[in-house]
Chain A
Amino acid sequence: MGVDRRMNFGIVVFPGSNCDRDCYYVIKEILNQPVRFIWHQETDLNGIDCVILPGGFSYGDYLRAGAIARFSPVMSEVKEFADRGGLIVGICNGFQILTEAGLLPGALGRNKGLKFICRYVSLRVERNDTPFTTEYRRGDIIRMPIAHNEGNYYIDNPDKIRNQVVLRYYGENPNGAIDDIAGIVNERGNVFGLMPHPERCSEKILGSEDGLKIFKSIVRAL
């Protein structure tokens, strides 16, 4: 990866987002890429190449996780950005928002065990031909932490999105997600949602660097 690559990241901050600073840190301090926060009431995505919807509890998860955040002013811009082919990553609550907003298919329901789960899980990389996963090899088994109460991915017809699955839980399915789905892209391949937190495993000192490749892949996609 060349040092002269400059990928402009924008991290959307909703009331209740709490992984926004972690993402910012990884992009700014580890990858040395330009990044700025985008308050949910802003509507200016000018100059942004990749939008990140971070994890957290936007609007307290009222009604359903992600259900209210989808009406934030920034979201109509995010939709247009997706239509123009811009890269979007939704992590955890960000994934929930993307499904609620209709930018990704399916929905995230309550964990099968009814508990909030916060621990490392094993994942299998199903696709490395997306702008978010080129740094992996297909079939790689990686480890990332999850931290969610609603990660039980559901879609009425999983066959329809079989080719859009990017990450699957490997070994054990922690939340009951259909077909072990942990992360998917849209048909066009420019919108990615995943329940695990790559920003929490992007430095050796934190126990794993497996997540960093997601951000590196995005930079490389430029």
Chain B
Amino acid sequence: MKKVKLIYEGKAKRVYSTEEDDKFIIEFKDSATAFDGLKKAEIQGKGEANCAISSKIFELLTIKGVRNHYIERLNEREMLVRSVKIFPIEVIIRNRVAGSMAKRLGLEEGRKLEKPILEFCYKSDELHDPMINEDHISALGLASPEELITIKDMSLKTNQILIEFFKLCHLDLVDMKFEFGKDSSGEIYLADEISPDTCRLWELGTTESWDKDRFRRDLGGVEEAYNEVKKRVLETPVESKTRILIRLKQGILDAQGSVILNALKSLGFNEVLEVRVGKLLEIKLDRKVDEAGRIERMCRELLANPVMEDYEWEWIEE
């Protein structure tokens, strides 16, 4: 897949069109800005770290059934994604008081919230991304009420999944920012990136930052923080389950199926036309998605006998 045209350049990413209409390439940059662009810097290795972190997290979300725009990682800095039209809304989800919320409400950073808080901002650089509410969103037509319900559900589900995942990385997910988009058929996808640029991550049990706050607040060790998060995220196994169904090929007499068919009929289930009996295997793996080809191989090389059996498989979403 080749980059065709630069269609968007933001503070930390470039988005390119490709030869295929429904795919974009996202390139992660090393540059960082904060406070609406007032503070700028290059952070060595940030682009690569964010690309790796986002890829792994999107793969995890795919296993867990959160539809997202990620297709595959192309190289150290680029990922291939589904082209979606981004809603002009930033979704912020908070598990602890921090950042702008602490300032706005005069609260101390670090306080655990009784339940996650969802906030919405209108995406506009000139207006400095002002906070809006659900009524603004529907009244201004930024998203339909149904779309907003989907966006909220996906946000809460993603939050729950990532709280658990980051805990395994010994990180506390304080808050994060999402963007959503929809494809030409109206299907909604989690988009953008998920990285220390868009998440507040603290060392578990402390308030020590492992995210962009190190840059915002001049805490030092900025490059190290991105690399540390990358290391922990990549090292943390993502368990996934796959369900493999193996059946005799169509056209091969399934003797068991015929016997069961007759038994069902003798019980009066005359509506039954055919019974095919198969084998169901559930396999737990320590990773996924980029390894999908390996499941095909497992089926072909051992689990099914291709002479007389067909197989199909799917990820089991929890």
Please determine whether B256 and A110 come into contact, CB atoms closer than 8 angstroms.
yes
B259 CB within 8 Å of chain A: yes
Beyond A106-B307, A109-B308, 9 extra complex contacts between A and B, CB < 8 Å: A63-B302, A64-B305, A107-B307, A107-B308, A110-B256, A112-B253, A113-B255, A114-B256, A155-B307
A159 within 8 A of B: no
Query: Is B305's CB under 8 angstroms from A107's CB?
Result: yes
B188, CB-defined interface residue at 8 Å: no
Q: Interface residues of B, CB < 8 Å — how many?
A: 11
Bound-complex Cα distance A113 to B258 (A): 10
Interface string of A49-89 (1 = CB under 8 A from B): 00000000000000110010001000000000000000000
Residues of A within 8 A of B256 (CB): 110, 114
Instruction: Give 1 or 0 for each of B245-262: 1 = CB within 8 Å of chain A CB.
Output: 000100011011001000
Nearest chain A CB to B250's CB is how many angstroms away? 12
List residues of A whose CB falls within 8 A of some B CB. 63-64, 67, 71, 99-100, 105-107, 109-114, 154-156, 176
**C-alpha spacing A145/B252, complex, angstroms:** 26
The 8 closest A-B pairs by CB, nearest first: A107-B307, A107-B308, A107-B305, A154-B308, A114-B255, A112-B255, A109-B308, A64-B305
B255 touches A67 (CB 8 A): no
CA distance A110 to B259 in the complex (A): 13
Most chain B CB atoms below 10 A, which of A106, A110, A111, A113: A110
Judged by a CB distance under 8 angstroms, whether B264 is at the interface is: no
Assess whether A154 is in contact with B252, with CB atoms less than 8 Å apart. yes
A106 and B306 alpha carbons, distance in the complex (Å): 9
Given contacts A99-B307, A114-B259, A154-B308, contact A109 B302 (CB under 8 A): no
The residue of chain A having its C-beta at the shortest distance from the C-beta of B303 within the complex is A63
Taking Cβ atoms with an 8 Å cutoff, the residues of B that contact A are 248, 252-253, 255-256, 259, 302-303, 305, 307-308
Residues of A within 8 A of B303 (CB): 63
Min C-beta distance of B135 to chain A, whole Å: 59
Chain B residues in 8 Å Cβ range of A67: 302, 305
Kindly name the residue among A105, A112, A154 whose own CB sees the greatest number of chain B CB atoms within 10 A. A154
In the complex, what distance in Å separates the CA atom of A71 from the CA atom of B259?
33
Minimum Cβ distance to chain B for residue A201 (Å): 28
**Contact status A100-B255, CB under 8 Å:** no
Q: Residues of B contacting A154 with CB < 8 Å?
A: 252, 307-308
Q: Is the CB of B255 within 8 A of A176?
A: yes
* Minimal beta-carbon separation of A170 from chain B (angstroms): 22
- The chain B residue with its CB closest to the CB of A156 is B307
Please give me the residue from chain B that is nearest to A99 by CB atom: B307
A160 nearest CB across to chain B (Å): 12
**B255 contact set on A, CB distance < 8 A:** 110-114, 176
A109 to B247, CA, bound (A): 12
A63: chain B residues at CB < 8 Å are 302-303
Q: Which residues of B contact A176 (CB under 8 A)?
A: 253, 255
Of chain A, the residue at the smallest CB distance from B256 is: A114
CB neighbours of A113 from chain B (8 A): 255
Task: Tell me, in angstroms, the Cα distance from A154 to B255 when the chains sit together.
Answer: 14
CA distance A107 to B252 in the complex (A): 12
How many Å from the CB of B6 to the closest CB on chain A? Answer: 51
With a 10 A CB-CB cut-off, give which of B248, B302, B308 has the most chain A CB atoms: B308
Q: How far is the CB of A174 from chain B (nearest CB, A)?
A: 13
Q: How far is the CA of A112 from the CA of B307 in the complex (A)?
A: 17
Tell me the bound Cα distance from A176 to B253 in angstroms.
9
Complex CA–CA separation, A147 to B307 (angstroms): 23
A71, A100, A114: the one contacting B305 at CB < 8 Å is A100
List residues of chain B with CB within 8 A of the CB of A107.
Answer: 305, 307-308
Listed by A's residue number, 10 A-B pairs whose Cβ atoms lie within 8 Å are A63-B303, A67-B302, A100-B305, A107-B305, A109-B308, A111-B255, A114-B255, A154-B308, A155-B307, A156-B307
Contact B252 A109 (CB under 8 A): yes
Residues of B within 8 A of A109 (CB): 248, 252, 308
Residues of A within 8 A of B259 (CB): 114
